Chains A and B, each alone.
Chain A
Amino acid sequence: MEPEEAEPKSYSRRQFFRHLSWSVLGFAGLAAVPFVVSSLIPRKVIENKRIRIGKPGDFPINRMTYLPDSHLYILRDPSGIAAMSAICTHLGCVVEQDVSGFLCPCHGSSFSLNGVVEKGPAPRNLPWYRVSTLPDQSLVVNMNQQVSPETRLQT
């Protein structure tokens, strides 16, 4: 039906507009992708990675105290204070303490008392975080900084 087909050499106006429409549609679609994706990324401010946990005196000596809100175990022993994550490195359940270490209820990973994986499927050890003090003596755990399990904040 289209008369243009009869003269193959010419690039008809209709063809031109068809190509133009498709390209505009395509480019508009592509251009929208980064905006859509970035709008889906949660804002950074929500992540609070430095947590105030109270004063050294709040923690009994030679015990690991669990802080529910921040998912941390706080260890206080004669040489100082340290903080370990309570989130299983397998799929993120909260590990529970038992006599010889920590146990994950979700798929049975177990960790030693200083967070080293004893039984899979957890692929990594439980991380320990840097603890520091504010001028008013309250403690801050910085979850951006990992330290070795032996590190203590002298108190």
Chain B
Amino acid sequence: MPVPEQSTGKERAAERLRKVSQNFFLHIHDPRLFPDSLSPLSTMGLGVILASLFIVQLTTGMLLMVHYTPSVDTAYFSVKEIIFYVPGGRVFRNIHRWSAHAMVFVTFLHLFRTFYKGSYYGSRRTNWVIGVVLLLVVMMMSFSGYLLPWDQLAFWAVTIGSNIAASFREFTDLLGITGHINPGGFFRKILIGGQEVSQATLTRFFTLHVMILPVTLLVLIGYHFWRIRKAGGLARPLDGDISSPDQIPAWPTAFWAEVSIFLTVVAMLLVVGMLADAPLKTIANPNFPENPAKSPWYLLGIQEIVSYSAFAGGFVIPLLFITFLIYIPWFDPDGSAHQGVWFGGKNGLKVTWLSALIGAMIPIVLIVLSIFIKSPGTQGSSLNILLTMVLNPGTLSVIGYFIWTGMVRKATSSRRLTVLALFTAFMMGWTIFMIIGIWFRGENWQLGI
């Protein structure tokens, strides 16, 4: 019902009420919000960017799915067909690939924003945990899509990835019980559907990629949105009272803000998708590994520490980190002083800088040392396996981070500063190992420039 031009105030109010009650958009948002919530610096719009990327992924994904066949004999050629014959196929595939990378990247940014701005206190705790799970699902989503083209890169990245899943075996080997129970091997078998990456693996990864993970993601995203409202709405001024009159109606102000973010994302992806081609190597050859065989960038940090010890780098350290992430709001529950404050104030900023420096220095020093100190030959004895698990740059860095965090805790006795120290050090370490993996590992995983 169009509003007559000279409508009375009453009519306009009624019209707004109608829109508000019938509007899907307002089931996601609070009907009124603070202008601050829309200011670019408060959330940086990262959540909306992620939602936009997800919509792009769903759309391009469905378009690709029409032409793709998940069979080891034809998968590779169907991807070639998408690139060379399907009108617009090349661009759709490029967008799908780049947008997937962007999604992982922005999810990390979103995590940083939420963490450094102290947005995990009180009733936002649940959403923090959902967020961590979402991060994992996004990464799995991206990794499962990696296998589908069935090229060399895909085959060997997944061979390595699935063996990381089995690396628990090193632990059971250490106890000498692998012959009886082998949970690592069992998990790997379920994941790839056999002893080696094959048709069964492709089918399983395809099912994960187009069905199980997207549905999980959709449900979790819905819950994630709903929890924002339950926890008191978008980021808002600390002293902002929900009944304050300074608020503006969400419709249509916030709506247009979000639409413009979405359009910007799509526009950027279109440009990138037309200019940059997503890689496609030669068809998978189970006999000759890519040399070097590198996983996607966001897993290269893990691959680097896995190259020291599969069990420590692929299992213990990631598990430790995820547990720490989830545990943060319980360790540091009192946000009265830092909620919504970047880095929790001046001291926090100082600790963050220091932790970033230490987080970077420890692995760099250790890696340089490892060039000179030859790692002991692991002749298969239990002691040697144990030694490689502990005495490697990855494990030692993590031990160093915990010592540093303990020092911060002792010196400041502030829980917020403690988590700031560990989180920052961990993230810096991850970044350093990732950089080493991306730019400093060449043929035969040799260190070089």
Chain A interface (Cβ within 8 Å of chain B)?
37, 40-42, 46-47, 68, 71, 90-94, 103-108, 116-125
Contact of B310 among A41, A118, A121 (CB under 8 A): A121
Interface assignment of B164: CB less than 8 Å from any CB of chain A: yes
State the Cβ distance, B228 to closest chain A Cβ, in Å. 30
Other than A106-B293, A116-B380, give 11 A-B pairs with Cβ distance below 8 A: A42-B190, A46-B195, A91-B163, A104-B444, A105-B293, A105-B443, A106-B156, A106-B160, A107-B306, A107-B307, A107-B445
Closest-by-CB residue of B relative to A98 is B444
Chain B contacts with A in 289-305, Cβ cutoff 8 A: 289-293
Chain B contacts with A in 167-222, Cβ cutoff 8 A: 167, 170, 173, 189-190, 193-196, 200
Interface assignment of B107: CB less than 8 Å from any CB of chain A: no
Chain B contacts with A in 367-411, Cβ cutoff 8 A: 374-380, 385, 388, 392
Contact of B377 among A105, A107, A117 (CB under 8 A): A117
Interface of B is mostly: loop
Q: Which of A37, A93, A125 has the largest count of B CB atoms less than 10 A from its CB?
A: A93
Contact of A94 among B287, B307, B308, B378 (CB under 8 A): B287
B-side interface size class:
35 or more
Evaluate whether A118 and B377 lie within 8 angstroms (CB atoms) in the complex, with A92-B163, A105-B292 already known: yes
* Interchain CB contact under 8 A, B379 and A108: no
Closest-by-CB residue of A relative to B193 is A42
Closest 8 CB pairs of A and B: A107-B307, A91-B163, A105-B291, A108-B445, A68-B287, A93-B289, A92-B163, A107-B445
Please report the C-alpha to C-alpha distance between residue A37 and residue B189 in the assembled complex, in whole angstroms: 12
Closest-by-CB residue of A relative to B314 is A91
Please report the C-alpha to C-alpha distance between residue A120 and residue B377 in the assembled complex, in whole angstroms: 6
Contact of A120 among B159, B293, B375 (CB under 8 A): B375
Chain B interface (Cβ within 8 Å of chain A)?
156, 159-160, 162-164, 167, 170, 173, 189-190, 193-196, 200, 286-293, 306-311, 374-380, 385, 388, 392, 443-446
Tell me which residues across on chain A come within 8 A of B200, comparing CB atoms.
Answer: 42, 46
* Interchain CB contact under 8 A, B310 and A105: no
Closest-by-CB residue of A relative to B200 is A42
Please report the C-alpha to C-alpha distance between residue A117 and residue B170 in the assembled complex, in whole angstroms: 15
* Interchain CB contact under 8 A, A91 and B160: yes
Tell me which residues across on chain B come within 8 A of A46, comparing CB atoms.
Answer: 194-195, 200
Please report the C-alpha to C-alpha distance between residue A122 and residue B376 in the assembled complex, in whole angstroms: 11
* Interchain CB contact under 8 A, B309 and A121: yes
* Interchain CB contact under 8 A, B159 and A92: yes
* Interchain CB contact under 8 A, A119 and B308: no
State the Cβ distance, B437 to closest chain A Cβ, in Å. 11
State the Cβ distance, B371 to closest chain A Cβ, in Å. 13
Tell me which residues across on chain B come within 8 A of A108, comparing CB atoms.
Answer: 307, 444-446
Tell me which residues across on chain B come within 8 A of A92, comparing CB atoms.
Answer: 159-160, 162-163, 196
Tell me which residues across on chain B come within 8 A of A94, comparing CB atoms.
Answer: 286-289
* Interchain CB contact under 8 A, B159 and A124: no
Evaluate whether A90 and B310 lie within 8 angstroms (CB atoms) in the complex, with A108-B445, A116-B379 already known: yes
* Interchain CB contact under 8 A, A123 and B190: no
* Interchain CB contact under 8 A, B445 and A106: yes
Evaluate whether A47 and B194 lie within 8 angstroms (CB atoms) in the complex, with A41-B189, A42-B189, A124-B173 already known: yes
Tell me which residues across on chain A come within 8 A of B445, comparing CB atoms.
Answer: 105-108
* Interchain CB contact under 8 A, A91 and B164: yes
Tell me which residues across on chain B come within 8 A of A125, comparing CB atoms.
Answer: 379-380
Please report the C-alpha to C-alpha distance between residue A106 and residue B445 in the assembled complex, in whole angstroms: 6
